[in-house]
Amino acid sequence: MLLLKDGEVIDNPWVTIEDHLPTSLPEYPILSYSLLSTLDDNDKINQPLGVLFPCDLDIELLNPFLKKLSLIALIFPTFKDGRAFSQARQIREHLKFTGELRATGQVLPDQYQFLTRVGFTTIMIPEITNIENWKENHHHFTIGFQNSILKEARHGLVRKL
C-alpha cells in the first residue's frame, strides 16, 4: 500500500496492530479500536498513538482517548459505503480533532476531493494504481458549493469570481 498526502506519495511510519497488543509498542502504532478500548490506562502512554476506527460505531466513543491520539484512520469497506465521510466531519467538527485523519479501505481517485473536503488528510491506496489520476483529482475542481473544512476561497453558496 502507498500513503498519499496532498496528491503525493509519502513515507508511512505507522504500523497497524489489529489482533493483539505486543509487549512493547512500535514507534508509531495504529491500534484497532477494540484494542485501544482495552488499554487499562491510556494516560500512561507517552508516544504517538493512532486508532483504526470502524465505520459502524459512534465517533463519540473516541472522546476518552482524544488527547492521546495523533492519528485516526477510518474505513471504507467499499468505495460506495460513505459512512466514513460523515464520521470524518463529526471528528473534525464535533470532536475538534486536528491530527492526521486517514482514509483506509477502498477509495477511488474520483473521491479525492470529497475526502479532503470532509477532513481527511491522508489516504492509503493500492500500489498498483495510476498515481497521476490521484494527482489530477486532488485539485480537479476549483469550485465547490459548500463551505468545507478546508475553507477554500471559491467555495460556498456565495462564490467569488
Partner 1 sequence: MNHFSHISDSNTSKAIGRYNYNDVDFEFLTERINQFRSQIKRRLNGELTEDEFKPFRLMNGVYLQLNSYMLRVAIPYGTLSSKMLRGLAYIARYYDRGYGHFTTRQNIQFHWTKLEEVPDILTYLASVELHTIQTSGNCIRNITSDEFAGVAQDEILDPRIYAEIMRQWSTLHPEFSFLPRKFKIAISGSSNDRIAVCFYDIGILTCLNKQNKPVFEIWVGGGLGRIPIKGKIIRNDLPPEHLLAYLEAIIRVYNLHGSRNNLYKSRIKILIENLGIDNYREQVEKEFQAMDLDQYRLSNDIMTSIQENFGQPNLVDVPNASETLKKHRQENQAFNQWVNHNSYPHFHKDYIATIISLKNIGETPGDMTADQMDALADLAEEYSLGEIRVTHLQNLVLGHVRKDQLYVLWQALQKHHLAVPNQGLITDIVCCPGLDYCALANARSISIAKKIMSLFQDIHLQEKIGPLNIGVDGCINSCAHHHIMNIGVLGVNKKGEEFYQIKLGGFSYKNNATIGSILGAALTMEEVIEAIRKLINFYLEQRQKNEYFIDTFNRLGINPFKEIVYASA
As beta bridge partners, residue 155 has 144
Spell out the residues 6+ positions from residue 98 whose beta carbon is closer than 8 angstroms to its own. Answer: none
Among 113, 122, 123, 134, binds partner 1 (CB under 8 A): 113
Listed in order, strand segments (DSSP E) in 42-160 are: 49-53, 69-76, 100-105, 122-125
Site membership for partner 1, residue 138 (CB under 8 A) = no
Give the x-and-dash track for 70-89 against partner 1 (CB under 8 A).
---------xxxxx-xxx-x
Site residues for partner 1, 11-70, by CB under 8 A, read none
Site membership for partner 1, residue 133 (CB under 8 A) = yes
Listed in order, strand segments (DSSP E) in the chain are: 2-5, 8-10, 15-17, 29-32, 49-53, 69-76, 100-105, 122-125
Site membership for partner 1, residue 161 (CB under 8 A) = yes
Residue 14's Cβ-side half-sphere holds a number of Cα atoms within 13 Å equal to 28
- Least distance in angstroms from the C-beta of 29 to partner 1: 27
Binding site for partner 1 (CB under 8 A): 79-83, 85-87, 89-90, 93-94, 108, 110-111, 113-115, 117-118, 130, 133, 136-137, 140-148, 154, 157-161
